Each structure stands twice: as C-alpha cells, then as structure tokens.
C-alpha cells in the first residue's frame, strides 16, 4: 500500500466512513437474511465460532460453514449441535484445493477465542506468526459451488486475506451467476500487498447485479 493509499485508508477509518459502511453492510446482510427460508442455501466462509452461522441457520435455510482453525471449529460444532440443516466443515475455502499452512497469531494461547479470528493462510499478514502454523485441508471454492448444482442465496466471506484469490477465481467463473449476495471482509490493513487487487475487485463489481457483492463486511 503506497503512502497515498495508506492516508486514504486512514481517513476512511478516522472520518467515520468505515463505521458507517460496516453498519450499512450489516443492515444489508440482515435484510437478505430476512428473505431466507427453508429450501434456500447460505455459505459461511471463515465461520469461526459460528455467530453468523447461527444467524443464517435461524432462518431455516440450509447452511454450509467452513472453519479451518480446530479451536474455533470445536466451538462452531458445539454451537450448531442439533441443527440438521447446518453442514460444518473443518477446512479452509480458497482458490485452489490441497493442504496449506494455517498461521495463528503469536499470542494465540493467551486468548484462543479472540485470536482464532485472525488465523490465516497468508504468512504475509502482519498479525500472524510464521512460526505458529500447521497444515489444514483446503477446498477449491469454485469447484465446491459447481458440485452443489443449486443456487446460493448468500455467501459470507471472512478468510483473513485469502478472499482476494478466492473472489478473483469466483468472478471469473460462470458459477458466480448462481450466487445472489456476497458479503466480504477485506484485509488490506493486515496485508497491504492486497490493496491494489482489492480495489480492482471493488471496481469490477460496482453496480453489478448478480452476484451483488458488498465489500464492507466487518
């Protein structure tokens, strides 16, 4: 991220514009949730301990939740116990399948519930420790969507920087037309090298009908 971009991002945060955009994103998410019901499908990428997975499941929709960090996944499955329409998968979703290293923060053990939200496939993220990583299963998300052979009403994407590769791959594939709404949290502050590609993705999807992409998820 160059100096001009960094200053622009700081102003965006300090001026209150970021908070307002995040509030609008939450309102939009809630509005989509209000229209979900049995027979619909939602996908939660980076479900962590399942706060939003639970909200999606409460609509009666089918939900697939991906969470690679085993600490968070244990809490996710406990929260979703007894919810037959929720499919919890202990794997990461990314632009390609395989086995990759998931990196945790240096202080993960001090507060695992808090720090599991920062676990990432990207070693370049400023908030992770390259020495604190372990292998996890990774699912090619485009292939996963193709295999469903059904429409997806909503996707929430909070995958700590891996969203750039994933969204580029998704938007390049015809399966994207089967997705209604996508809510994405971006991570250029933790990984400034993502800033240019993130901006390009935002420009690419501006005013787009389907999928409707909101880049201000929190």
For 34, other C-beta atoms within 10 Å of its C-beta total 9
Q: How far is Cα 103 from Cα 118, in angstroms, rounded to an integer?
A: 9
Q: What is the pLDDT of residue 218?
A: 85
| pLDDT, mean of residues 63-92 | 98
Given the structure tokens 């390259």, which residue do they identify? 130
Q: How far is Cα 89 from Cα 73, in angstroms, rounded to an integer?
A: 8
| pLDDT, mean of residues 9-27 | 79
pLDDT at 2 over 70: no
Alpha helices in the chain (DSSP H): 3-14, 17-35, 51-57, 70-79, 112-115, 141-148, 163-171, 195-205
Give the pTM.
0.92
Q: How far is Cα 163 from Cα 194, in angstroms, rounded to an integer?
A: 10
The number of CA neighbours under 13 Å toward the Cβ of 40 is: 21
Q: What is the pLDDT of residue 13?
A: 66
Q: What is the pLDDT of residue 208?
A: 82
99-143 tens-digit pLDDT: 999 999 999 999 999 999 999 999 999 999 999 999 999 999 999
Mean pLDDT, the chain, integer = 94
**Residue 217: what are its φ and ψ, rounded to 5°?**
-60, 155
DSSP-based three-state secondary structure for 149: coil
- Those residues whose C-beta lies under 8 Å from the C-beta of residue 20, and which sit 6 or more positions away, are none
Q: What is the pLDDT of residue 207?
A: 84
pLDDT at 3 over 60: no
- Those residues whose C-beta lies under 8 Å from the C-beta of residue 62, and which sit 6 or more positions away, are 39, 40, 41, 42, 85, 86, 87
DSSP-based three-state secondary structure for 154: strand
pLDDT at 5 over 60: no
CA-based nearest residue to 29, from 128, 152, 154: 154
DSSP-based three-state secondary structure for 161: coil
């Amino acid at each position: 991220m160059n100096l001009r971009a960094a200053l622009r991002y700081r102003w965006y945060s300090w001026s209150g514009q970021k908070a307002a955009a995040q509030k609008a994103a939450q309102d939009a998410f809630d509005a989509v949730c209000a229209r979900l019901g049995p027979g619909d499908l939602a996908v939660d990428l980076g479900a962590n301990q399942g706060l939003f997975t639970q909200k999606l499941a409460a609509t009666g929709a089918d939900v697939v939740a991906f969470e690679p960090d085993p600490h968070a996944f244990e809490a996710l499955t406990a929260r979703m116990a007894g919810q037959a329409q929720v499919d919890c998968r202990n794997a990461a979703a990314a632009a390609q399948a395989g086995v990759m290293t998931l990196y945790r923060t240096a202080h993960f053990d001090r507060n695992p519930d808090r720090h599991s939200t920062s676990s990432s496939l990207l070693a370049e993220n400023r908030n992770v420790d390259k020495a604190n990583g372990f292998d996890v299963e990774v699912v090619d998300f485009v292939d996963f969507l193709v295999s469903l052979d059904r429409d997806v009403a909503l996707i929430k994407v909070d995958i700590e920087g891996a969203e750039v590769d994933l969204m580029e791959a998704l938007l390049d594939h015809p399966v994207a037309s089967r997705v209604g709404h996508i809510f994405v949290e971006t991570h250029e502050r933790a990984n400034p090298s993502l800033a240019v590609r993130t901006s390009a993705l935002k420009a690419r999807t501006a005013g787009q009908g389907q999928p409707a992409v909101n880049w201000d998820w929190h």
